[in-house]
Amino acid sequence: MMKSLKITALLLALLAAPALAQSNTISGAWKVTGDVVGNPINMVCTFIQDGKKLTGSCKAVGADKVVDLTGEVDDKKVTWKYDSEYQGQKITLIYTGTLDASSQFKGDIDVQPFGVTGTFTAAKEEAKKEEPKKPQ
C-alpha cells in the first residue's frame, strides 16, 4: 500500500514537471542592448508570452516611438521582429536568441532588406518598487 502511494506520487510529480516548466515565461520588461554594424541598440522590450506566441512592444531608450513586435518562444529559442525605419526606408529587425538563464538571453539581429547583422543581449528588468510615501 505504502509503496503504491510512493509510486503514484512520483508519477504525478513527473507528469506535472512539463507543465511547471512551461509556466516559466519570458513575459515582462527586458533591457536589450547590442550593435548592428556600429549602430548601437539600446531599448526596453515588453514581452507578452501566450504559449509559444510572443507579442509586445519595444521602445528605444530616450525615444518616444514605440514599435509593436511579434514572435515565438520555442523551448530556449526566442525570436521576435518589428518594423522600423532607417534613413527613410522601411526595415524589419529580426532577433533570434537563446535563453541561457531565466533572466538573460543573447543572440543575433538580422536587418532586412539590407541583409546586415549584429548581436544583442537581453536582461530581465527588475520590477520597480514604489518608494513609500512620506507623511506630510
In a domain, residue 75? The reply is yes
Whether the upstream peptide bond of residue 40 has omega within 30° of 0, thus cis, is: no
Query: What is the radius of gyration, based on Cα positions, of the chain?
Result: 20
Q: What pLDDT does residue 41 have?
A: 95
Evaluate whether residue 95 is within a structural domain: yes
Q: What is the pLDDT of residue 129?
A: 53
Q: pTM for the full model?
A: 0.76
Domain count, the chain: 1
Identify the residue whose cell numbers are 507528469. 15
Q: Quick check: is 136 in a domain?
A: no
How many residues appear in the chain? 136
Does residue 76 fall inside a structural domain? Answer: yes
Does 1 reside within a domain? Answer: no
d(CA 12, CA 69): 38
Residue 4's φ and ψ, nearest 5 degrees, are -70, -30
Report the SS3 class of residue 84.
strand
The predicted structure's pLDDT at residue 124: 94
User: What amino acid is encoded at 128 in this protein?
Assistant: K
Please report, for the chain, how many H helices and E strands are present, in that order: 1, 8
Residue-number span of the structural domain to which 43 is assigned:
25-124
Q: What is the CATH number of the domain that holds 36?
A: 2.40.128.120
Note whether residue 79 is domain-resident.
Answer: yes
Q: What pairing do the DSSP bridges indicate for beta strands 66-74 and 77-86?
A: antiparallel
pLDDT digit string (tens) for the chain, length 136 residues: 545 444 433 333 333 333 334 446 899 999 999 999 999 999 999 999 999 999 999 999 999 999 999 999 999 999 999 999 989 999 999 999 999 876 899 999 999 999 999 999 999 997 655 555 566 5
